[in-house]
Structure 1
Amino acid sequence: MDDKYLFASVLIKINQNQLALGAAMDELTIWAEKQGASDVAGHIRDALETLDQNQEFISLALLSVSTDFKGE
Structure 2
Amino acid sequence: MPNSDLLPALLSKLYENQLALEASILELSNWVEQRGSADVAENVRGALHTIDDNEEFIKLTLAVLMSPD
Same fold (TM over 0.5): yes
Q: Percent identical across equivalent pairs?
A: 42
Q: Residue in 1 aligned with 2:43?
A: 43
How many angstroms apart in 2 are the aligned matches of 1:4 and 1:44?
Answer: 37
CA distance in 2, matches of 1:42, 1:4: 41
Q: What do the CA deviations read for 1:8-66 (whole angstroms, capped 9, x no partner)? A: 11011110110100110110111011011011111111111001111111101111112
Q: Give the aligned partner of residue 16 of structure 2.
A: 16
Letter of the 1:38 counterpart? A
Q: Which runs of 4+ in 1 moved over 3 A?
A: none
User: Structure 1: any 5+ residue segments left out of the alignment?
Assistant: none
Aligned to 2:29: 29
| TM-score after normalising by structure 2 | 0.89
What TM-score does the superposition give when structure 1 sets the normalisation length? 0.86
- Structure 2 contact 5–66 (Cα < 8 Å) conserved: no
Let me know the Cα RMSD of the aligned residues: 1.1
Q: Mind listing any 5+ residue stretches in structure 2 that lack a counterpart?
A: none
